[in-house]
């Protein structure tokens, strides 16, 4: 077993833990940032998308992250819908045979929460990851191309 999954360089930069001497020289650079939500999402999911993009650290979410981010958005939307449905019923329900069981809506909420947390941890949305995030302007990365652009 190899150990812990490597953290993406962009996440290290945003968190302020990037070290050039430990950078992966073979890492493929992701291009383009996520902006507008896909058309196939419903209105609530589109609003979740927009809110999360607005609240996420700059330059964290790239176009290549679209599928993981979409999983998070849809799970969050489904979780909210389940919350609304559960508020109209109860956490336990009686079956047709008179047995008490956990409401399937609650089971669905728990599954969506697990999916959301897994996707969130992959993208650096967890509270532990967020506590290490610094503003993009505070991050200094040695970029030799920037010196060329400045004429230095």
Beta partners for residue 14, in sequence order? none
- The reply to whether 84 falls in a domain is yes
- The reply to whether 81 falls in a domain is yes
- The reply to whether 24 falls in a domain is yes
- The reply to whether 148 falls in a domain is no
- The reply to whether 71 falls in a domain is yes
Give me the tens of pLDDT residue by residue for the chain, a chain 152 residues long.
Answer: 567 766 777 777 777 888 877 776 666 566 788 889 999 999 999 999 999 999 887 777 888 889 999 999 999 999 999 999 999 999 999 999 999 999 999 999 999 999 999 998 888 787 765 655 554 444 455 555 555 555 55
Q: Enter the pTM of the model.
A: 0.67
Looking at the 3D structure of the chain, how many domains does it have? 1
Domain extent, residue 58, equals 9-139
- The reply to whether 43 falls in a domain is yes
HEC sequence for the chain: CCCCCCCCHHHHHHHCCCCHHHCCCCCCCCCCECCCCCCCCCHHHHHHHHHHHHHCCCCCCEHHHHHHHHHHHHHHHHHHHHHHHHHCCCCEEECCCCCEEECHHHHHHHHHHHHHHHHHHHHCCCHHHHCCCCCHHHCCCCCHHHHHHHCC
Distance, CA of 82 to CA of 98 (rounded, Å): 24
Task: Please give the pLDDT value at position 138.
Answer: 41
Q: How far is CA 40 from the centre of its chain?
A: 19
Instruction: Give burial (CB, 10 Å; 0-12/13-18/19+) of 3.
Output: exposed
Task: Please give the pLDDT value at position 30.
Answer: 64
Task: Please give the pLDDT value at position 131.
Answer: 56
Instruction: Give burial (CB, 10 Å; 0-12/13-18/19+) of 30.
Output: middle
- The reply to whether 23 falls in a domain is yes
- The reply to whether 149 falls in a domain is no
């Amino acid at each position: 077993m190899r150990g812990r999954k490597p953290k993406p360089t962009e996440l290290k930069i945003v968190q302020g833990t990037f070290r050039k001497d430990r950078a992966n020289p073979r890492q493929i650079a992701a291009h383009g940032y996520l902006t507008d939500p896909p058309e196939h999402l419903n209105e609530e999911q589109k609003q979740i998308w927009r809110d999360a993009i607005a609240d996420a650290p700059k330059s964290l979410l790239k176009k290549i992250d679209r599928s993981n981010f979409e999983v998070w958005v849809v799970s969050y939307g489904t979780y909210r819908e389940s919350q609304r449905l559960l508020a109209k019923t109860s956490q336990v329900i009686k079956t047709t045979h008179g047995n008490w069981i956990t409401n399937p809506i609650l089971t669905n909420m728990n599954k969506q929460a697990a999916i959301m947390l897994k996707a969130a941890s992959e993208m650096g949305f967890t509270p532990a990851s967020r506590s290490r995030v610094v503003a993009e302007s505070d991050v200094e990365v040695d970029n030799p191309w920037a010196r060329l652009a400045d004429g230095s």
